Amino acid sequence: MSDDVQTGTAMTDQQVTSVLEGFADAFGRQRRSPILHTPDEQGLQWEDVTFPARDGVPLEGWFIPCPGSDRLVIANHPMGFTRSGLPAHLEPWHAQWAASGNGFEVDFTPDYKILHDAGYHVLAYDLRNHGHSGEGNGGISSSGIYEARDGAGALDYVRRRPDTRDTAVGLFSRCLGASSTFAAMTQFPDAFQDVRCLLAVQPVTARVIIGRRLDLLGLADRIDQLERLIVARTSIGFARRSPAEWAKNVHVPTYLYQVRDDVLTHPSDVQAMFDNIPAADKKLQWIEDTTARWDGYLEFQRRPAPMLDWLATHLND
């Protein structure tokens, strides 16, 4: 991407249209990123597992056992990531994210080590159209609408496994994974009746994050044009992609955390979701002194104590 495109200056209408078309293509159907890390790098025993989403899309994941435990955490991931993270230090992902200050790698495998060592089985899986999981709905990204079926499928799977069906279950849902969890609680409330708690990491509204990325390109006034292009590719406009609305159906104890000055969103977006959660037992943590969204994804492995306390409070009884 040229400097002119990055700053949004001195672009012709043709150049702007080309940028928006490329943006719509990338958002509508996410480029799959590779799984570059595995749990054995953290000294963990694990097995490859596969299970169906509620609509039959095959999902791939890792099951990391913690012998003798009766507690389990199910983890998913942000848009464009996989269960192992995102190699944003490598191309083409670096070029996509460096302008927003997020051109560095996120490796999620240390998270699983922390959870395992705290006494939890871990199921980490790729959402549809990501990692090694199957393609669903023509490969389009729906901001949680269809990905909700994956979260419900993961819960169905752990309830079928003889070694996990009686465990106390908590959820560790990140970004798109968090939004899809909110959506799943709206669409499939039966699946969450015995879920004990949720860690929700940086859920974001599609219109907000896309608007902020257009701001960085100097194209904030083109968001309606971009939405039309996204609808042409996915049939889903911004109004239907509403985690704040889905949050009204989140009844489990929820710990939500977010980089306050994240350049890719506004604090009001997460605050609205938090305010809409009807659960009496809920907490919102702001991460300070950074503008990089990726720092929010790394917060757990850097300072896990508050999140581990939340899990222990709700899963240990």
Q: What percent of the chain has pLDDT over 90?
A: 92
The residue type at 57 = V
Bond before 92 cis per omega within 30 degrees: yes
308 pLDDT higher than 80: yes
Helix axes 223-234, 206-217, angle to 10 degrees: 130
The pLDDT of residue 13: 85
- Identify the band that residue 307 occupies on the pLDDT scale cut at 50, 70 and 90: very high
Tokens of 116: 């395992």
The pLDDT of residue 144: 97
User: Using CA atoms, how far apart are residues 108 and 124, in angstroms rounded to an integer?
Assistant: 10
What's the average model confidence in pLDDT over 46-61? 98
Neighbouring C-beta atoms of residue 43, cutoff 10 Å: 9
The pLDDT of residue 9: 55
Tokens 């994956």 sit on residue: 150
The pLDDT of residue 3: 36
Bond before 304 cis per omega within 30 degrees: no
